[in-house]
Amino acid sequence: MALETMTLSLSTSAMLSSGVVEDDKKQEAFVFPKFVLMGHRGFGMNMLQSPDEKMKFIKENSLLSFNVAADCPIDFIEFDVQVTRDGCPVIFHDIFMFTQDQGVLIEKRVREMDLHEFLSYGPQKDGTNVKPMLRKTKDGRIFEWKVEKDDPLCTLEDAFLNVKHSLGFNIELKFDDNTVYGEGELRQTLDNIMTVVNEHSMNRPIIFSSFHPDAARLIRNMQRSYPVFFLTNGGCEIYKDVRRNSLDEAIKLCKESGLQGIVSEVKAILRTPNAITRVKDAKLSLLSYGQLNNVVEVIYLQYLMGVEGVIVDMVKEISEAIANIEVTNEDDCEGEDERKCLIRFGEERKKVEITKDMITLLNKFVPKLL
């Protein structure tokens, strides 16, 4: 069996609705037909503080990033969607936009801008850059948003119209962790997003995902055509909302809200590998994200453990490595019950054999290495 990615084709025959679907919250099982590879924010996120130039190559969450990723053998791109004050869904990860005017740092929430103001930041289509973008890291440092290949900001509609149609979209519904949203505000934001999706989806493979439990629940209630996944770091960070603090809480939320799957920080999966069984028993799909997904061997291990797909930054390197792997199971000569997994790294690369005992050993010691 070749371990290769594929373009996922989802059934989108059911009509979408921007209102609440009037049936119950019955969970519909969803299984990816093959191991899937997703490009994080397109061709990979920008880490401006990193010495690795690959993390500062192409502007994340841009049309350029999406289309460069589309040229790689991947199935989806993942990107973050917020809604401006005047109701336009735009693609941007950070809650705040930063720039500088005569040496004074200026910050503003994306949702407090209208579309015209949002698009005025960073490089423009005419080549100007009147409002250079800055980025604030979690530790409070400010960096000039300088990448080798820059590109203007874009809207969700831009992505639908200008990115290869066969490439799937993992649309992350982005909300501020430090803001309490009322259900009416959440619903209006999701309505604005669904309006664009309804108009432009054209049977493109789409999944929704969100770290916000109530946003995930609402988008599930508002439509039945696209799978909804709950994003969690599985306890790697602790939040006031307990639903965000473990894989078991994520499973519980998915079952109660009729969601189709979980996207977990890979560290949480490796620390508690038995949770994979609980996810599967709950008839949920499981994807992972995180910097460890830029290590090919970690992706191989997750595949063997039953994870159904990964979100990665090193899109070119990981997609090429995955495309050149072949995984087969063979009977071990020592006994009928023992199976051996053979991973072939292309014709000219060495063959690596991983037995069940080795997988058990890896599962036991990986948590100690994290």
Over residues 146-183, the pLDDT tens digits come to: 999 999 999 999 999 999 999 999 999 999 999 999 99
Indicate which CATH number applies to the domain containing 175.
Answer: 3.20.20.190
- Domain presence at residue 41: yes
Q: Looking at residue 141, what is its pLDDT?
A: 96
Question: Is the residue at 49 inside a domain?
Answer: yes
Task: Tell me, yes or no, whether 103 lies in a domain.
Answer: no
Say yes or no to pLDDT of 88 above 50. Answer: yes
pLDDT in tens, 317-365: 999 988 776 555 544 434 444 444 544 444 334 344 445 555 565 555 5
Residue 179 lies in a domain: yes
**Lookup: tokens for 282:** 């709950």
Q: Which of 251, 271, 247, 272 is nearest to 260 (CA)?
A: 251
Q: Considering the domain boundaries, does residue 304 fall inside one? A: yes
Closest to 231 measured CA to CA, from 205, 193, 261: 261
Is there a contact between 268 and 292 (Cβ–Cβ < 8 Å)? no
pLDDT, one tens digit per residue, over 194-209 is: 999 999 999 999 999 9
What's the token pair of residue 118? 């949002």
Query: Could you say which DSSP state residue 173 is in?
Result: E
For the segment 59-70, the average pLDDT, to the nearest whole number, is: 98
9 band by pLDDT with thresholds 50, 70 and 90: very low
Reported as type and span, the H/E element at residue 362 is helix 356-369
pLDDT (0 to 100) of residue 44: 98
Strand partners, 355: 340
Model confidence at 220: pLDDT above 50: yes
Q: Does residue 70 or residue 366 have the better pLDDT?
A: 70
Residue 14 lies in a domain: no
**pLDDT at position 10:** 39
Amino acid at 258: G
Strand order in the sheet with 96-101: 104-109, 96-101, 134-136, 142-144
Expressed as residue numbers, the domain containing 300 is 36-94+147-323
Question: Is the residue at 104 inside a domain?
Answer: no
pLDDT over 80 (residue 306): yes
Return the pLDDT at 30.
85
- Residue 204 placed within a domain: yes
Number of domains in the chain: 1
Give the three-state DSSP class for 146. Answer: coil
Instruction: Output the pTM of the full model.
Output: 0.86
Q: Please name the residues in contact with 357: beta carbons below 8 A apart, sequence gap of 6 or more.
A: none
Please state, for a pLDDT cut of 90, what percent of the chain lies above it: 75
Tell which residue, 15, 6, 10, 2, has the closest CA to residue 30: 10
